[in-house]
Every structure is written in structure tokens, then in C-alpha cells.
Structure 1
Amino acid sequence: SQSLSPPSCSVAYSTSGCSSDQSARAQTQKELMKAIKELKLRLPSERKSKGHSGTLNALKYALQCVRQVRANRESYHQWSVEECHGCSLDLSTFTIEELDNITSEYTLKNTDTFSMAVSFLSGKVVYVSPQGSSLLRCKSDCLQGTMFSELLAPQDVSTFYSGTAPCRLPSWASCIGSVSPPADCTQEKSMFCRIRANRVQGSEMRYYPFRLTPYQLTLQDSDTAEP
């Protein structure tokens, strides 16, 4: 009977270990389900589609957010470093009304074109021409105040930031002498980026390719002015 005691003790230890592992797995599963539940609550209404798994939609949305944040962090750092290399911005100041009047002369004759102003300081959209909401299939107030990088396909965020470092951009005032800007203002600095529309097909966000031609200017809104 004494020879059976060690195995019995060994079995007891093994059972205790299994119980501990099961408890840890149960706790992990509980925390995972809690996190997924919170993701579902935070899932934008346009990402909720009938006939698709809510959990899968939530996880895809979370993955997209992670990629977006990573792209923003890496690219904005590059933007900030280049901006600090002693470049001074000496720009003409425009009001939103002036910007709207000038750009409308060009966009009305080019129905597949729209103008948008993005703040260097905040990265947010501060102006969008009327055609922008039509081409992007959403209301202008949905675009106003949105982080522009969030409208871009994640893989295009670095393209946007690398092509819009303040020291690299031509002054907009020097390129508006005619309805059609000079070739050196439009061709050299152009880039292609995919911008999302306000439509979701299934659970996937839809993006449309646009050629962006960036300029720099100081835009005055009420009593404030920012580049």
C-alpha cells in the first residue's frame, strides 16, 4: 500500500495543475468575450451588415484601426521631422469664401474634381468643395473636422504624408494665375491615393482612387489663421 502513495500524490499534483490551467483559460476566454462585446458596441453603424458575423466585422474593424493608427504614427513622425528642418512658411492668407470662389471656377468645369483643405496643425479637414461630398457619396458635414488620414486607405497614408511635407509644397497663390494651373504646379507634385466613400459593400470599406495635387496656403477662419 505504501508503494501506491507516491503515484497518488503525483496524480493529485497533476489534477491541481490541470485545474489551474483550466481556470486561466476560462479567465482569458472571459476577458476575450468582454473585449469582443465592447468592440461590437463601438462598431460604426455603417460597418454593421446583415448576414455577416458581428464578431468578424468587429475584429476586421479593430484590425483596420490598428493599421490606421500605426500608419498615422509612422508617417506623421516623418512629416514632423521634415518640417523641423528650418523651413519658414511665408504664405498668402485666404478666407474660406475666397478659397471657395477661386476653386469653384476650376471644379465646375471639371466635374470629377473637388478641392479640400487639410490643416497642417491638426490633420483635420477644414474645407471641402460642394463636389467633394458628391464624389465621396456623403454629406459635407460628415467630412468637416474628420482626420484626413482616416479617409485614406491605410497603405496610402505614408504616400500622402511623404508628398505633403510643408517644405516640399508650392505656394497655392503662385499657381492660381489661371483657371488651369501651370504644369509645374500640377504634374510634379501629384500623387495617387485611395479615398474611402461613405458606402460599405458587405463588410468591406470601399475606396476610390484620386489624383491629389497638394499646395500650401494659410486659411483664415473667423479670427484665426492656420496653414
Structure 2
Amino acid sequence: MSDLSNFNNIYANLAESAYNDRPNLFPYKSLYKPQRNILDSGESLKFDFSQDTTFKHSDGVESFVKGGKNLPNKGVVYLQPDKTLHAEPIKSTYSVPKVNGGYEQVPYDTLKTYQKGLLTDEKAGFNAYFVTDTAKLDETTRQTYLTIRGSDGASISTLNDWVSNDANFALTDAYIPQAKLANLALQEKIKELNAKAPDAVLNVTGHSLGTMVSAQAVAKLYQETA
């Protein structure tokens, strides 16, 4: 995804922010430490898309994005922390010969972890972000957004994006794995809105694979409630 030339579309803004190495980015690992500290404390992180932004990419190239006009809430949104996010142990197995022949698989801890939560499953390649127009989700909240990241650059570490999801959808028209995770996230966020912000609207946005994931997740949601 190329950088936007301006921030005039809130849905495009949020879809772009779901990626790493972008202006106004949301991914936790790419945030500055003070920003991570805010989320770690349970508070939301403010972003203002009405402001002009100059951003230096990891390859050293600088980009300039013009601040948006006529945006909802004057371009201000709040990235909410995912309180379910945690480091999940990666387990594996090794084969041990049985006394009577054959082998059995014995589990062991690899001492490695991956990030997992309602909005993130690093192993599955799923990354989503919940954004609101108020610092806290409450009865004054009117607009909320679930933005879902699309495919990261093709590599061994992103095969889940390109094979299990992109290719799976293109070749078989299947209900892809990341869409199932997005559907669960939608269900939980709708419950949260009903409890804390009953007048709020939940918008869903994404780019590339994020669009397919969003469309399937929403369609499944309606199918389940029909």
C-alpha cells in the first residue's frame, strides 16, 4: 500500500494505519516506547488525521501527507488497547520410542512466544485495531472503527497472509482463517458497544486482504443473526 497523499478519507486513513512503516501507524511493536506505555497502562492513544504529517520510512525515504478536511470528529481518533493481548507460548513435540514399538509424541516448550489476543494472532497473521471517537468507550461515543490489516510483504514469515488467506480465497472462495478471527472480534466488540456505548456505530475498514477479511467477517455475522 502506497502512502496516502492526504488524510481526507477516514476509512482509508485507518486502513493505512493498520500497517507497519506508515504515517500514524497503529501496530504496537512499531510504536515509540512512550506510546506503548500509554497502551500498556490501559489508556487509549490519540491520533489526529487533520494534521499534516512528514514521515521517514525504514528505507530512509520521507513522505509528506496533507492533513484531512471535513473528517468525523475533526480527524481525532483514539486507538484503544487490546487488554486480551498476551505472549502465547509456542509448543512443539518430539518423538520418543515406545517400549512395545512405534513412537509417541511428547510435548515441550520451545521457550518462544507469539502475540495473541482478540484483535491479534501473530501466528495466523491476523492484526486488527479498535478505534473510537472518544478517549474512553462510553455513552458519549458515537463512531467506532475496526480496521484490519491486509497482506504484509511476501516472505516466509507472512505465508499465512499469502497462502492460507489470499490464495485460499482466490482459488477456492473459502471462508478464510483470518475472517473467522475477525468475525469473533466483531461479535465481542458489538457486545462491548451494547454494554458501554449503545448509541455508537461500529464501522469496519481494511485494505487488500483486510478488505476480504472484513467482508467475509461481516457477511458471516449477518448470516449467523439472520
Identify, as 1 or 2, the structure richer in strand. Answer: 2
TM-score (norm 2): 0.23
Identify, as 1 or 2, the structure richer in helix. Answer: 1
TM-score (norm 1): 0.22
- Bigger Rg, structure 1 or 2: 1
Give the structure, 1 or 2, with the largest relative contact order (CA under 8 Å, sep 6 or more).
1
